[in-house]
Structure 1
């Protein structure tokens, strides 16, 4: 491809064809996938070891920890598709180099360890990328190389055939393995892989609830696993099942995925961000998706013919993802990565999103797609997903997620990495039209369950809005309440009410004697929160904390004892105490309000309440509102 052709390729994805009415109608998703894929392939190529004298020739080195992640060599497929798109030999050479290095890392039993850890479940991801790359590279491999690649694929497929089950791994690995074994059966002409893929696929969809949410991402009860994570489902499991169904013609599995996708589509916000604020793996939420999961474009490409909204969701999420690409070319952990961290991201988000885009490019058969409004772009609705006790709603200016998701890792308890997600009726994400996230969420307590993925960031505080207190028994908050009760009501047009009740609890899910009832009133211009505290066995000082996402240029001004004005670009927000006896603090410990996942920082607003002397209950009401639009003239 000529230099001019490459330049055109990078322009095309952002050309949306407009009708005579001025309304966007069509876009070239295939060109959009190609452009971003080639861009990511270039940065991956920059990280490849190219000295032939180096025993790790062909590996990709991570800037963050200098590790040669075996999973990074899944870039073999993105490199192969970048070669197909551009015709440039550098991508062909890169694909063969990294494939050869990966094969040398294979264990005798056919698995790959997810270096620097011992986990071998990711063998399914590596094997699938080798299989998909085979069609594009086999004719370019030498005779010895070709035999080596084929043998590695057979060994990996046999390992997965023998080992992969929902008892062995979280459900996303099982779902991916369905696609891997179906692909292996096609390549190797061995039906034993197809039979095993079908068995695993049917076991996987048996773990879907009525709303289409897939269980099996969390900790073990006995041998089995439960727990839902929307991000891993959209970026891993559902496309794995969908690709398996496409390869095998399994209509039962295909219909299950189509049903699930209808619910999951609601969680693509109007700006294209993906709301995994509430899932059990939300400790890796980046706002565009997950840091180590693949991406949603492949899923939407598989089902693009079913509904034009899927093309819109795919394109919007891709455009949002692009905003998270750093100057270095690597994909960040979130929108404010360089503001909150002085070290580069791990290479994981870059190669996982690249492989997703490579698959999406190959599955997309149309040059142009008709676009349609996402559910989140329409206003005046609320959707309560009762199987997970999560509510989504949209008014003219606001979109919000309220979570009372009650999954518990009973066996691991407070040691579980899945039990620090927001819960207890928290608003885990609050988005404003034309602004972005006004509030978001992060883990209740930060830890490093996977040192490879979680950087050392001592002292960070949660971004999640919350009720909390600390006394001699410890730290108690609604975020540790996994038994909260939630009701959702729709009032007049674009007015919605969400009510939640529970107990303030510690990390061991033990209550200390303060109950709460929260009522949220959402309208086009405001969110009003009314909190009723019930002091039935303790009378501590309570703090209600509202961390406001602090983008560059925002100004917070306390105008009186009850009011804070927040200037943000062309918007003016107001935080106002409407009723109740509380002290309003501003910016306390602000330097600690940031998170690596999602890479955001916040400015804390805090209401401090002392218990009333003559009552066992206390009520407070406050609002966050859009005051007006204004110009910077």
Structure 2
């Protein structure tokens, strides 16, 4: 890498960074004109992407959490508009679009993320149409599942372990409906996923981009889904499995933080190999924030403050990449795909999902660190 790493920004209070991120996401929704959230802003091309149903699905959860945290009902209204838009574009078979709004066919993973949003909206509002949409989507996902628990059909390049983040919404759907087929589907997936695991905790088939060196976005997707599913299934063995991997990554992060002048400068590297090693110089900010969320939830469950401290340090590091000085509202407050911005993941783009996980991580940090 020949380019010099950019300077990091000075940080302010969490609430200032959080509000800037929420403002950026709200702007991405406003510009879409449809209720969904635009996928990204390309800094080089100075151009917005299209509305993205998958990520809008879990942005709903963040907006609802923010609304509760701040008592700002405008974000509840925004979440409702997102959920209504998702219903408008749901396919006749129950599945949801495989990409942005130009896609006309469904994908299992994307559908799972939208189920998450609909379930949270139903829990918050009690409006039946959100649960009905989630049931239609869940039924389609169950129908698409292979007998051994994996999802081959309507997936991106075949079955993947990060489909754990589909099993988790199915468990949420089971919690709301008590329909056993959703629980059984999630359980079958977990059994298949564990056949992909090596003795050192590594999972095969963990990434949609590079199966040999998965990036942290997909590693964190995998851990998020397995952690939440383990708790909903009350599967102690699976939970301890996730705990061990999360502890390994926490220790990797702590070790990297001891060398602040060596790339990736106290962040997690963008990728790991099957030995949990990396020689990458850039960091995937999306994955950084997702793994911070995992650590925060493990702190909540275990009381182990090393998870809280690691999450706080990584959040603080990513805060340093958020531009609060720019007068360009398309940049101000958003989180890029990578640090540096020209890095491997989401190069030269501000991503709605990176910004979402950043906001969600700060909200959980505020909640768990305060003991509320």
**Same fold per superposition (TM over 0.5):** yes
1:206 aligns with 2:195: yes
What corresponds to 1:260 in structure 2? 245
- Aligned-pair distance for 1:361? 5.6
SS in 1 for 2:198: coil
Deviations 1:231-282 (A, max 9, x none): 14542111211111112211121121122223222332316511234449x9
What corresponds to 1:174 in structure 2? 163
1:241 aligns with 2:226: yes
| Structure number with higher helix proportion | 2
1:60 aligns with 2:49: no
SS in 2 for 1:49: helix
**Are the aligned partners of 2:282 and 2:340 in contact in 1 as well (CA < 8 Å)?**
no
Q: In structure 2, do the counterparts of structure 1 residues 315 and 241 end up closer, same or farther at CA, with 3 Å as the change threshold?
A: same
| Structure number with higher strand proportion | 1
Counterpart of 2:295 (choices 300, 322, 337) is 300
1:345 aligns with 2:329: no
Counterpart of 1:43 (choices 24, 27, 30) is 24
What is the RMSD of the two structures over their aligned residues, measured on CA atoms? 3.6
Q: In structure 2, do the counterparts of structure 1 residues 255 and 188 end up closer, same or farther at CA, with 3 Å as the change threshold?
A: same
What corresponds to 2:88 in structure 1? 104
**Are the aligned partners of 1:179 and 1:240 in contact in 2 as well (CA < 8 Å)?**
yes
CA distance in 2, matches of 1:126, 1:352: 15
- Aligned-pair distance for 1:356? 5.4
What corresponds to 1:130 in structure 2? 118
How many residues get paired? Answer: 321
CA distance in 1, matches of 2:245, 2:18: 27
Q: In structure 2, do the counterparts of structure 1 residues 213 and 325 end up closer, same or farther at CA, with 3 Å as the change threshold?
A: same
Q: In structure 2, do the counterparts of structure 1 residues 357 and 289 end up closer, same or farther at CA, with 3 Å as the change threshold?
A: farther
Which runs of no fewer than 5 residues in structure 2 stay unpaired?
Answer: 1-10, 43-47, 258-264, 327-331
**Are the aligned partners of 2:269 and 2:281 in contact in 1 as well (CA < 8 Å)?**
no
Q: Which has the higher contact order (CA 8 A, sep 6+)?
A: 2
What corresponds to 2:139 in structure 1? 158
CA distance in 1, matches of 2:96, 2:138: 12
What corresponds to 2:307 in structure 1? 310
- Aligned-pair distance for 1:79? 1.0
Counterpart of 2:71 (choices 87, 91, 99) is 87
CA distance in 1, matches of 2:321, 2:164: 28
Q: In structure 2, do the counterparts of structure 1 residues 290 and 322 end up closer, same or farther at CA, with 3 Å as the change threshold?
A: closer
CA distance in 1, matches of 2:139, 2:243: 30
Counterpart of 1:69 (choices 32, 52, 65) is 52
**Are the aligned partners of 1:83 and 1:89 in contact in 2 as well (CA < 8 Å)?**
yes
**Are the aligned partners of 2:206 and 2:222 in contact in 1 as well (CA < 8 Å)?**
no
What corresponds to 2:5 in structure 1? none
- Select the structure of larger CA radius of gyration: 1
Which runs of no fewer than 5 residues in structure 1 stay unpaired?
Answer: 1-9, 14-33, 139-145, 370-633
SS in 2 for 1:303: helix
Q: In structure 2, do the counterparts of structure 1 residues 82 and 189 end up closer, same or farther at CA, with 3 Å as the change threshold?
A: same
Deviations 1:94-122 (A, max 9, x none): 11111111111111122211214556121
- Aligned-pair distance for 1:227? 4.5
**Are the aligned partners of 2:171 and 2:229 in contact in 1 as well (CA < 8 Å)?**
yes
**Are the aligned partners of 1:235 and 1:289 in contact in 2 as well (CA < 8 Å)?**
no
**Are the aligned partners of 2:36 and 2:56 in contact in 1 as well (CA < 8 Å)?**
yes
Q: In structure 2, do the counterparts of structure 1 residues 60 and 243 end up closer, same or farther at CA, with 3 Å as the change threshold?
A: same
What corresponds to 1:289 in structure 2? 284
**Are the aligned partners of 2:60 and 2:82 in contact in 1 as well (CA < 8 Å)?**
yes
What corresponds to 1:149 in structure 2? 130
CA distance in 2, matches of 1:344, 1:232: 15
1:367 aligns with 2:370: yes
What corresponds to 1:216 in structure 2? 205
Larger mean CA deviation between 185-194 and 300-309 belongs to 300-309
CA distance in 2, matches of 1:83, 1:102: 20
CA distance in 2, matches of 1:294, 1:232: 9
**Superposed, which structure 2 residues align to 1:299-448 within 5 Å?**
299-304=294-299, 305=302, 307-326=304-323, 327=326, 328-337=332-341, 345-355=350-360, 360=364, 365-367=368-370
CA distance in 1, matches of 2:309, 2:269: 16
Deviations 1:389-419 (A, max 9, x none): xxxxxxxxxxxxxxxxxxxxxxxxxxxxxxx
**Are the aligned partners of 1:185 and 1:194 in contact in 2 as well (CA < 8 Å)?**
yes
